Structure 1
Amino acid sequence: MSAEASKHARQLLLKEYRGVLSTHSQAMPGFPFGSVVPYCLDANGWPLILISRIAQHTRNLKADGRCSLLVGERAAEDVQAASRLTLLAEARQLAEPAAIESGAQRYYRYFPESRDYHRVHDFDFWVLEPVRWRYIGGFGAIHWLDHLALANPFAVESGEVEQSMVEHMNDDHAAAIARYVEQAGLPQSAPAQMVGIDSEGFHLRIGQALHWLAFPEPCETPMAVRQALVAMARG
């Protein structure tokens, strides 16, 4: 049951791209401080965030890295019956140039507008390293999970494999991407761009919104991804 719960919880984490980050307040000791942050997942499947050095939550994290990220099901009509996930984590600022570059390339694909304010203002990349997860999949479906994150086989090291596949799809297979959008009933108000691929599915960006679509079966190799994408385009 925990494996099934982990799968559903991870899918929720992939489908959403913003959550409430709670930190230990330095201005008001003893009180939690909540703020909304966008995120994408890094090569380890951990949330990657970009936050300002002058933000209150950044000051809090520098003093105490223990935090939580609450992610809820988007546009749920009944929030009590909706899925939600709380990640208890240790926040760590990326410091190595290679890690910063790899994180930046991935984050910019998901949130391209962040490239400008990252350069102009004092923003840094942080990763939320999981300690434990609490997943509620609806009434009575409550789980503590120790193992939920799944490493992305295409984003390891520099992430060149994933980036190459994403660029190929955007440059040469716009019709297939449009087909995925149509099949999933996603908004067609703007052209969709593929921004990320993991072993379980892929992310599309439409305007400023992100949408995750699952593969029929998990894919561990680029060839398996290609076959899955072809099959999905054919419907």
Structure 2
Amino acid sequence: MSVEVTKNARELLLKEYRGVLSTHSKAMPGFPFGSVVPYCLDDQGRALILISRIAQHTHNLQKDPRCSLLVGEREAEDVQAVGRLTYLAEAEKLSDPLAIEAAAERYYRYFPDSRNYHQAHDFDFWVLKPVRHRYIGGFGAIHWLDQVTLANPFAGKAEASMVEHMNSDHAKAIAHYVALSGLPDAVPAQLAGIDTEGMHLRIGQALYWLPFETPCNTPIQVREALVSLAHAQHWPKKPAASA
């Protein structure tokens, strides 16, 4: 399978931030049960979700961890002509305190309101451990992919430090990224996350993933990319937003 197809599938997973989680129904055996969930990617590039202990899909996963997450491009005039990804996985609830802490730190940046209900109510982090992926890039572009996820070398202290620095000291640069990519500017954007291939901006409740011109594997390369974009006259790639 071509590297480009895998990259396109992964970028779709990055561009979106919510999907349809399908589980095996406990109440109605034999029937699939679909529900909408927000997600971000963990340090291994796997989908990370925060779900209530009383939710139907949680009960389903506790009985059978096999599930899928359907992610598709929104606002498409023809949904059959655009990309969509079915992410087949085995769900696992995080139990290690350090893993939960790391998950919470990243998830809260993407979904700030989650801090309140996670701490006040019975919610747990679950990671969707990928098994296989079905990616459709448009008419006739149909592929089974075994490996789509890519580990994030910055996850943890390095990413948190870069995000905090940009949001605290470089609001003008972030505003320039918004202007370059034609994103909504009604409220100031905040940097939410950085990965090898791009960065996430949070504008209000919406998240947008913007690609770097070339992959970044070290914090120095990220800094160079961010500085270059702060002075650019156009974005090196046309970003696709999820809103």
With normalisation by structure 1, the TM-score equals 0.98
Query: Over the residues paired in the alignment, what is the CA RMSD in angstroms?
Result: 0.5
Deviation for aligned residue 1:2: 2.6
Deviation for aligned residue 1:163: 0.2
Whole-angstrom CA distance in 2 between matches of 1:148 and 1:3? 10
Structure 2 unmatched ranges of 5 or more = 233-243
Deviation for aligned residue 1:84: 0.1
Whole-angstrom CA distance in 1 between matches of 2:74 and 2:218? 30
Partner of 2:145: 145
Whole-angstrom CA distance in 2 between matches of 1:137 and 1:233? 31
Deviation for aligned residue 1:198: 0.2
Report whether the alignment pairs 1:206 with 2:210. Answer: no
Whole-angstrom CA distance in 2 between matches of 1:14 and 1:36? 17
Question: How do 1:73-152 residues align onto structure 2 when only pairs under 5 Å count?
Answer: 73-152=73-152
Structure 1 unmatched ranges of 5 or more = none
Report whether the alignment pairs 1:231 with 2:224. Answer: no
Whole-angstrom CA distance in 1 between matches of 2:23 and 2:38? 15
- AA at the equivalent of 1:114: S
Whole-angstrom CA distance in 2 between matches of 1:3 and 1:65? 29
**Residues matched between the structures, number:** 232
- AA at the equivalent of 2:103: G
Report whether the alignment pairs 1:45 with 2:42. Answer: no
Report whether the alignment pairs 1:176 with 2:209. Answer: no
Partner of 1:194: 191
Report whether the alignment pairs 1:5 with 2:5. Answer: yes
Deviation for aligned residue 1:76: 1.1
Whole-angstrom CA distance in 2 between matches of 1:76 and 1:46? 25
Whole-angstrom CA distance in 1 between matches of 2:76 and 2:105? 31
Partner of 1:69: 69
Aligned-residue sequence identity (percent) comes to 73
With normalisation by structure 2, the TM-score equals 0.95
- AA at the equivalent of 1:95: S
For residues 2-25 of structure 1, the C-alpha deviation after alignment (integer angstroms, 9 at most, x for no partner) is 311110010000000000000000
Whole-angstrom CA distance in 1 between matches of 2:6 and 2:41? 16
**Is contact 1:20-1:69 (8 Å) kept?**
yes
Whole-angstrom CA distance in 2 between matches of 1:74 and 1:34? 18
